[in-house]
Amino acid sequence: MNEFDLRCAAEDYDRAANVLIEIDFDCLLLWGHYPPDGGDAREVTGEDWRRKSKSRSLNNSGASSYSTGQIQGAIACCEEGLLIDRETKNRQWEGVDLSNLGIAYATLGQTQRAIEFYEQARAIAREIGARYGEGHRLDYLAESLIAEKRYAEAIQSATDGAKIGEEVSSPVLGSWSNYFHALAHLYAGNPPAARAAAESARQYDEPQNNHNVLALLGIIALRQNDHAAAQEAFTAAIAHADVMLERSAQNYSALDAKGVALCGLGLCDDNGQDRIERTNQAAEVFRAARAINKDAGYVARVVRLLDALAPAVPDGTETLKEARKINEPMN
């Protein structure tokens, strides 16, 4: 960041933008440093700024917009990047653009449109031999297939993604593929298979997904009446979520995982007052998350998790009534 500031001070904007692009996705976004308007990388572009690099900056600006709940801003960035990449015949980044558009439309609840983007992006990945990219698109596809209740297809897509993860030795794919594999099995009514997949996902250390994996593992364990394992998983999920929230209070994924885990701990508690305290804490966390993102597709994912958690105890539906109400999709 010091180099970035010095390059800008010297009006060396092209090199300043290159510095930012090198660290934006793997470092800045991970640590919660989101541009206020999603446009820092574009503001430092000079006349000689290459269109290929501009496409990259647009995609990462879109990622920052998505991470702060500005989905329409993310779509605008990705659409502009897609035009550039098609003009320059950059197939790799065209696939990235399409995949990111799928993510955005899935968040808005337009899952069929998202599936179409993912399929296009996957076809490009296969065409150019981008195995890691293909694995990611299979995971995204699995998530949208789950939303459509096409569980068998989702399981197959996640299984294929996990195989690619093993092939390219990617802990990121290993975490996400097995996570969606577990989700699909849980919603399809197969808790043992779901737990096996969740345990597999837990073997990978993926900071962006650890909280989700552990919250899901807690739900599955509680549904299997394994209270000790559920408490351990929920507690760990909260700890991982808090690490991400220390980096950025805008991380609504971490907030939602924490809210689900707090609800789970509440259901684990036999003491009525402890249960009320936990669910009240969860309600506060969910309200904070919905202040950042309340898009229909995204919020529906949270509701599905709460609905999967509720049957774990006899009064689960009543106990989670307030949490579910806060997370009813608004659009």
Looking at the structure, tell me whether residues 191 and 255 fall in a common domain.
Answer: no
- Cα distances from 214 to residues 90, 202, 230, 240, 286, in angstroms, run 38, 7, 9, 9, 18
Please write the tens of the pLDDT for every residue from 46-64. 443 455 555 565 565 555 5
Question: Same domain for 256 and 308?
Answer: yes
If asked whether residues 197 and 234 sit together in one domain, one would say no
Give me the chain's average pLDDT, please.
86
Q: Give every CB contact of residue 112 below 8 A, 6+ residues apart in sequence.
A: 148
> Is position 166 within any domain?
yes
The identity of residue 273, as a single letter, is: Q
Residue 206: per-residue pLDDT: 95
Q: Phi/psi of residue 330, each to 5°?
A: -95, -15
Residues 185 and 221 both lie in one domain: no
Task: Report, as an integer, the average pLDDT of 167-175.
Answer: 96
Residue 263 lies in a domain: yes
Task: Report yes or no: 138 and 167 within 8 Å, Cβ to Cβ.
Answer: no
How would DSSP label each residue in 50-107?
-HHHHHHHHHHHHHHHHHTT-HHHHHHHHHHHHHHHHHTT-HHHHHHHHHHHHHHHHH
Report yes or no on 11 lying in a domain. Answer: no
Instruction: Among 169, 185, 206, identify where a domain stops.
Output: 206
In-domain check, residue 58: no
Question: 182 and 83 in one domain?
Answer: yes
pLDDT band at 267, cuts 50/70/90?
Answer: very high
Determine if the pTM surpasses 0.85: no
Q: What is the pLDDT of residues 227-262, one digit of tens each?
A: 999 999 999 999 999 999 999 899 999 999 999 999
pLDDT of residue 31: 46
State the Cα torsion 30-184-135-126 to the nearest 10°.
Answer: -140
Domain boundary among 189, 206, 223: 206
- Residue of 147 and 9 predicted with greater confidence: 147
Q: What is the mean pLDDT of residues 194-201?
A: 98
Q: Are residues 239 and 170 in the same domain?
A: no
| One domain, residues 200 and 88 | yes
Per-residue confidence band for 14, with pLDDT thresholds at 50, 70 and 90: low
133 vs 331, higher pLDDT: 133
Q: Say if 275 falls within a structural domain.
A: yes
Spatial distance between the Cα atoms of 151 and 142, rounded to a whole number of angstroms: 8
Query: Tens of pLDDT along 220-235?
Result: 999 999 999 999 999 9
Same domain, 229 and 330: yes
Residue 61 within any structural domain of the chain: no
Say if residue 285 is in the same domain as residue 223: yes
State the residue range of the domain holding 107: 77-206
Whether residues 279 and 202 fall in one domain: no
Residues 322 and 199: their CA atoms lie apart, in Å, by 30
| Contact yes or no for 305/260 (Cβ under 8 A) | yes
pLDDT band with cut points at 50, 70 and 90 for residue 68: low
Residues 179 and 243 in one domain: no
Domain closes at, from 153, 187, 206:
206
| Overall number of domains in the chain | 2
CA angle 34, 132, 182 (to 5 degrees): 85
Here the tokens at position 323 are: 């949490």
Are both 228 and 285 inside the same structural domain?
yes
User: What CATH number does residue 173 fall under?
Assistant: 1.25.40.10
Lowest mean pLDDT of 30-44, 51-65, 120-134, 165-179, name the range.
30-44
CB 59 within 8 A of CB 93: yes
pLDDT of residue 296: 93
